[in-house]
Amino acid sequence: MAMRHFFHIAFVLPFTILAGDLGDHFFQQKNYYAAITEYKRTLFLDSSQDSSVIIYKMAETYYTWGKLEESGNILTTILDDSTNENLTVRPLALLASIYWDNYDYDALLILLDKLNSVLDEPARSEIEYVRGWTYIYQTDWAEGIRVFESLNVSALIPLINDLDKIYELPQKSVFMATVLSKVIPGAGQLYAGNYENFIYAALFIGSIGSSMLWDMYQKAYFTAAVKYLFLFRRYSKSSIYRMQQKIDQQNLAAMSHFLKDVSDRYPKHGTFMRCAPRGGHHNLFLLKSPTGRPKLNHVAFTVRDIHEVFGGGLHICRQGWETQLGPGRHPISSAYFWYVNSPCGGLAEYYADEDYLTENWQPRNFERKPELFAEWAVIGGFDGITRRQKTDK
């Protein structure tokens, strides 16, 4: 028995203390695999330490490592089992970050309620601010505005006013129009305001549909099937496609009117837009996607100069985000740029030294050409560590 205690004190205990220290050390060195190994070793060898603290460190390591699922599973275990009330806020906050990163807004709203129950009054205002943006990202504009108004923060008044204007934005649903057209030929076209196409769909496609129904009533199923496959489906599909194009054009025009300031255009392909009459060349770029639908291509963030473009781009690379293109230089906006893939979809652009536009600016039309897109550009960006261009090798 004495030898067992001696062995534990002489060998196991120092190794346990070292394991916990090594876990923190490896975490600081960004050697996350080794940090997780040492934290697990601490849990196995030393039952005297607060396991919740060690488990939280494991969750934090997984999160920093980018393994959100593993981190979330561990945090859920802590919240279910931990009796340490002083530790509750930390795993709740980290789990909230995971839900935010995964766009799991419903789960995030539930978690924010739990955070509110354990925080003091000043911190609750910050939680409500996050809650407001969560509703906004769910496109629940009314609830988001209600939360922002409840905070009584003067700095939020311009944001609330802008959000109120969203209700004035006339946007029509492509999905609704398509469903209407498939149920009643011409109904979706009428909803879209595509009147010429409405007459075509109601008369021509409607007559084919009526003829098919008559054939089925007469039990001429083969004839009805032929009409459906070679007439109704073909012409209905082309009519619906033209209707969808019409709605996309109307929605894009309404969005441009909402933002009020169009900077430049690729006619029938893309539109550069800015959020204020005076300012940088653009904040948003909408571009026709390969499917023919207009999509958000990128959101542009202005930085001070080319040094911040490079510095920001290199930092983003070091954090593990993928460069889509850049750095480079645009002829149209005159800006230095760096594009990274956004987790929200589309791209985020760092840019500097762009043209400064005023309310007197007249939008220009450009033809889509490679030489107009970039004077020069680096494919794949630079490695954030080596500062060398990334290659496939």
Tens of pLDDT, residue by residue over 229-238, are 888 888 888 8
Please state, in angstroms and rounded to a whole number, the distance separating the CA atoms of residues 105 and 138.
7
pLDDT band at 169 (very low <50, low <70, confident <90, very high): low
Tens of pLDDT along 220-229?
A: 888 888 888 8
pLDDT digit string (tens) for 293-337? Answer: 667 889 999 999 999 999 999 888 888 888 889 899 999 999 999
**Please, what is the angle between helix 13-28 and helix 32-45, to 10°?**
160
Task: Give the mean model confidence (pLDDT) for residues 246-270.
Answer: 78
Q: According to the model, what pLDDT value does residue 336 have?
A: 95
Give residues with Cβ within 8 angstroms of 375, minimum separation 6. Answer: 328, 329, 330, 331
- The encoded tokens of residue 196 equal 């010429």
Residue 240: is its pLDDT beyond 80? yes
Highest mean pLDDT among 100-104, 186-190, 260-264, 355-359: 355-359
pLDDT band at 339; cut points 50, 70, 90: very high
Q: Is the whole-model pTM more than 0.75? A: no
| Contact between 90 and 56 (Cβ < 8 Å) | yes
Q: Which of 123, 122, 95 is nearest to 110 (CA)?
A: 95
Q: Percentage helix, strand, coil, to 5, in the chain?
A: 60, 15, 25
> What confidence score (pLDDT) does residue 13 get?
44
**Among 36, 70, 71, residue whose Cα is nearest residue 54:** 36
CATH label, 2-168, candidates 3.40.50.170, 1.25.40.10, 1.10.443.10, 3.20.20.70:
1.25.40.10
Q: Which sequence spans correspond to the domains of the chain? A: 2-168, 174-254, 260-379
Residue 8 pLDDT > 70, yes or no?
A: no
Cβ neighbourhood burial of 263 (10 Å; 0-12, 13-18, 19+): buried
Q: Please give the share of the chain, as a percent, with pLDDT higher than 90.
A: 13
357 — phi, psi (to 5°)? Answer: -110, 155
Given the structure tokens 């002489």, which residue do they identify?
Answer: 10
For 260-379, give the CATH class: alpha beta
pLDDT tens for each residue of 376-391:
988 877 776 777 777 6
